[in-house]
């Protein structure tokens, strides 16, 4: 899997949009960008993934640059419950057929 780079921590005010960046400059053509988050003392939770088009679901939006070397996860209206470590993971698509390689992630702190 390609390596990713994320800022170690970020703050965001409650109710504002949280924008979490991720660099993945060595991504291959068949690799997807996945985002998971881990709330304190819980198991990681899937958020969203994409290949090259922007994606949106009920939790977040994923913006991938045209060259696919970086992406941004957007939580449109952050709440205190969104405080967690967010992991950007690059992996080959194909039905969840391999393990996830987690980096250090970004610790997002939502401030009241």
Partner 1 sequence: DAGVIQSPRHEVTEMGQEVTLRCKPISGHDYLFWYRQTMMRGLELLIYFNNNVPIDDSGMPEDRFSAKMPNASFSTLKIQPSEPRDSAVYFCASSLWGSSYNEQFFGPGTRLTVL
CA gap 111, 97 in Å, rounded: 37
**Distance separating alpha carbons of residues 70 and 66, to the nearest angstrom:** 9
Find the part of the chain contacting partner 1 (CB under 8 A) among 3-11, 58-66, 71-79, 96-104. Answer: 96-104
User: Which residue, 35 or 68, has its beta carbon nearer to partner 1?
Assistant: 35
- Residue 82 phi/psi, 5° resolution? -85, -5
b/e per residue 55-71 (b: at least 16 CB within 10 A)? beeeebbbbbeeebebb
> Where does this chain touch partner 1 (CB under 8 A) — which range of 6-14, 18-26, 64-72, 92-100?
92-100
Q: Measured between alpha carbons, how far is 106 from 19 in angstroms, rounded to an integer? A: 11
Of residues 32 through 71, those in contact with partner 1 by CB under 8 A are 32, 34, 38, 41-46, 49
Q: Is residue 7 near partner 1 by the rule CB under 8 A? A: no
CB of 44 vs partner 1, minimal distance in Å: 5
Question: Which residues of this protein are in contact with partner 1, per CB under 8 A?
Answer: 32, 34, 38, 41-46, 49, 87, 93-104
């Amino acid at each position: 899997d390609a390596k990713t780079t994320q800022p170690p921590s970020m703050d965001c005010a409650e109710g504002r949009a949280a924008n979490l960046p991720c660099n993945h400059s060595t991504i291959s053509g068949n690799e997807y960008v996945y985002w998971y988050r881990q709330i304190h003392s819980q198991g990681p939770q899937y958020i969203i993934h994409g290949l090259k088009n922007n994606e949106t679901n009920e939790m977040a939006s994923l913006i991938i640059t045209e060259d696919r070397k970086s992406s941004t996860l957007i939580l449109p209206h952050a709440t205190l419950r969104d405080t967690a470590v967010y992991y950007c993971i690059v992996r080959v698509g194909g039905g969840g057929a391999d393990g996830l390689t987690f980096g250090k992630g970004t610790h997002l702190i939502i401030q009241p």
